[in-house]
A and B are shown apart, each in its own frame.
Chain A
Amino acid sequence: MQVKEKIIEKTFLVIAFSSIAILALITFFIFEEGLPLILKIGIKAFLLGEKWIPSKGLFGVFPMIVSSFWVTFGALLLGIPLGLACAIFLSELIPPSVGLLLRPAIQLLAAIPSVIYGFWGLIVLVPLIQNHFGGPGLSILAGSLVLGFMILPTIITISEDSLKALPPTYKAGALALGATHWQTIWRVLIPAARSGIVASIILGMGRAIGETMAMIMILGNAVKMPTSFLDSARTLTTNIGIEMGYASGDHRQALFATGVVLFFIIMALNTLAIALSRRRVH
């Protein structure tokens, strides 16, 4: 029996570690492929270079970093108010039975494949923007709108959970002191659940920065510094997605190097989110 137990224990250990090992291998591979190019052309030239012309050996990803954050910022402008409002509504303002209907619907939003969002954006949003605001239509505005909807489930579910996890005494205390329901929500509950809400926003940001398929379809992918929300742009992820089919040699390595940049951004965001959600509320 003892031997059997040991074997079983070790089997589980191997299974558990293999998933970490796969992650480590992927990380190693990205760095192994990407770092030589960054070092070859210089970290500064790579990160701050403004021109990406692989056929001429110019690999500057600065416009893509800026575009990534620009698109993400636009998505948050839409996603935060909508998501937070929805979370408050679900946790405080409606009877639980209605929530039973709404919550699966919101989760369904997360289950829609991103290519569907992209297609919807391309067919519906892009012509609208083209006709009403001018420009090519394929733009940061279109991308931000679509991404705003895509990050809603993340923001709503995590914010709602953190609101629900608050001790009921907070609400009772505030109401007993004579605060209205709205004052209680705005002045007591939201500040108390702040860390969870911020974490949800950062996780939403991570999702927005990582989104590729929908963005390839609606951003237009022009490699230049964006100057307005109506400009076409290329994010770090779409750069990899759109060029990987044909890339070889330095160009291929440059795409992995783009992945390295993305890796650091996502790691920073996730670490921040974990740190914030662990912080205790007093």
Chain B
Amino acid sequence: MSQEDMDNRKSTKFQTLNDKEISFALQQTPSPHPSPPGGQGKGERRFGHWNFVFGNYLEFGLPARSLSLALNPENGQTHLRPTFCKQNAPAKAGIWNLGFLFLLLFILFSMGCQRSKAGITVAGSTSVEPFAELLAEEYMSRHPESHIYVQGGGSTAGIEAAITRAANIGMSSRNLIGEENKLYTVTIAKDAIAIIVNPKNSIQDLSLQQIRLVFSGKIRNWKELGGPLHPIVLVTREEGSGTRESFQKFVMGKEDISLEALVQDSNGAVRQVVASNHHAIGYISLGLVNDQVKAVKISGVEPNLTNIDNGKYTLVRPFLFVFKEEPTGEANSFLEFVLSPLAQKLLLKEGLVPALHKMARE
């Protein structure tokens, strides 16, 4: 008995269990072709139609819905025969095709998860993230062989990622506290926090005291600040945000931010709300202030680089890179790039205060 016959027998059995009527007919009628509908002739494999049979239930075929050439090994003739997809792949085969598809997808995904390039991960503060992305792009254009993955998540998450080594570099937009001080920290730039209002708002100048009263909910109407008679809409960041922590420290002190305040979860979202509401007030990173919103002066001091430099504008916080220990290799090379005059100039252009501003000015 040839291998071909063995194959055919197997498939006949298969059909016995799945489609009794057809298979009995097949067994009783001596077929002129050794390869009955549903058979797995070798010729079919050669022409690209594959049937996989594992036991009685596990069959799936990649359907060839056209005529296929089958080679009859006994007389050496080839003949055209249709592939009976529907008959030889019963309803269950659909499930197995699906299973096969999932397997393929799984393999694809697991391949996709493998990093195509060796690289380092920078994660943390959403305030630092856009600037880190910019720097990473610049760095990668200079070092095509390496890759920097920049992720958000927040200052606390970034510091935690650095501690657990989930990220090579953690980004933080707040000073480290307690245990965190053991980490190796580098200030890459400084950022000012701007108090923003809608451009249609007539208010130009507020004192820190006024801002504190507004955000603690004690001043509730623009009238009290010399504006129109309309309730103030407060916009703040969520608990744990680096920007909020800095704002709390610089402006609020021991006072709490009012619970009435709207809470938005990013600089962009705060800006969006203030831009679309004439009576809103919020605070965001100075680097992200655009013409949709207006940054107010604080006791006459305009938030700009000169005033930050000479210390007149006080709402300034550090942007930190945090490492588990002194960086080496790729992480160190990226850090060196970030501190280079070129990268610092880029940050200056984006509205940040360079950590090495004297160098950047030269």
**CB contact under 8 A between A224 and B259, given known A243-B240, A245-B153, A246-B155:** yes
| CB contact list, A99-156 vs B, under 8 A | 122, 126-127, 130, 136-138
Partner of B56, one of A4, A126, A242: A4
Does B57 interact with chain A (Cβ within 8 Å)? Answer: yes
**CB contact under 8 A between A138 and B273, given known A222-B259, A234-B263:** yes
Does B233 interact with chain A (Cβ within 8 Å)? Answer: yes
Partner of A222, one of B55, B156, B261, B265: B261
The answer on a CB contact under 8 Å between B239 and A54 is yes
Expressed in whole angstroms, the Cα–Cα distance for A234 and B259 within the complex equals 11
Does B280 interact with chain A (Cβ within 8 Å)? Answer: yes
Does B160 interact with chain A (Cβ within 8 Å)? Answer: yes
> What's the minimum C-beta distance from A177 to chain B, rounded to whole angstroms?
46
Does A162 interact with chain B (Cβ within 8 Å)? Answer: no
Does A68 interact with chain B (Cβ within 8 Å)? Answer: no
The answer on a CB contact under 8 Å between A4 and B54 is yes
Does A165 interact with chain B (Cβ within 8 Å)? Answer: no
Interface size bracket, B side: 20 to 34
The answer on a CB contact under 8 Å between B54 and A221 is no
Q: Mark B144-183, 1 if CB is under 8 A from A, else 0.
A: 0000000011111100100000000000000000000000
The answer on a CB contact under 8 Å between A138 and B262 is yes
Does A237 interact with chain B (Cβ within 8 Å)? Answer: no
> What's the minimum C-beta distance from B9 to chain A, rounded to whole angstroms?
13
**CB contact under 8 A between A4 and B55, given known A242-B238, A243-B239, A245-B126:** yes
Partner of A136, one of B240, B242, B277: B277
The answer on a CB contact under 8 Å between B55 and A221 is no
> What's the minimum C-beta distance from B161 to chain A, rounded to whole angstroms?
11
CB neighbours of A136 from chain B (8 A): 233, 262, 273, 277, 280
Partner of A248, one of B54, B160, B233, B263: B160
| CB contact list, A211-225 vs B, under 8 A | 216, 220-224
CB neighbours of B240 from chain A (8 A): 54-55, 243, 245-248, 251
Expressed in whole angstroms, the Cα–Cα distance for A243 and B264 within the complex equals 10
CB neighbours of A242 from chain B (8 A): 238, 263, 265
Does A24 interact with chain B (Cβ within 8 Å)? Answer: no
The answer on a CB contact under 8 Å between A245 and B55 is no
Partner of A221, one of B56, B238, B242: B238
CB neighbours of B280 from chain A (8 A): 136
Q: Which of B238, B259, B265 has the most CB of A within 10 A?
A: B238
The answer on a CB contact under 8 Å between A245 and B265 is yes
The answer on a CB contact under 8 Å between A248 and B57 is no
CB neighbours of A8 from chain B (8 A): 54-55, 57-58
CB neighbours of A243 from chain B (8 A): 238-240, 265
The answer on a CB contact under 8 Å between A221 and B262 is yes
Partner of B239, one of A51, A130, A220, A246: A246
CB neighbours of B58 from chain A (8 A): 8
Does B19 interact with chain A (Cβ within 8 Å)? Answer: no
> What's the minimum C-beta distance from B312 to chain A, rounded to whole angstroms?
29
> What's the minimum C-beta distance from B173 to chain A, rounded to whole angstroms?
11
Chain A's closest residue to B279 (CB) is: A136
Identify 18 new A-B residue pairs, CB closer than 8 A, beyond the known A4-B56, A53-B256.
A5-B55, A5-B57, A54-B239, A55-B239, A136-B273, A221-B264, A222-B259, A222-B260, A222-B262, A223-B263, A224-B259, A232-B262, A234-B263, A242-B263, A245-B126, A245-B154, A246-B240, A251-B240
28 contacts between A and B (CB under 8 A): A1-B55, A1-B56, A8-B54, A8-B57, A53-B256, A54-B239, A54-B240, A130-B277, A138-B262, A138-B273, A220-B263, A221-B238, A221-B263, A221-B264, A223-B259, A223-B263, A224-B259, A224-B260, A243-B240, A243-B265, A245-B157, A245-B238, A246-B154, A246-B156, A246-B157, A246-B242, A251-B239, A251-B240
Interface set of B (CB-CB < 8 Å, partner A): 54-58, 126, 152-157, 160, 233, 238-242, 256, 259-265, 272-273, 276-277, 280
In the A-B complex, list the 8 residue pairs whose CB atoms are closest, starting with the nearest. Answer: A246-B240, A246-B154, A221-B263, A4-B55, A220-B262, A245-B154, A224-B259, A136-B233
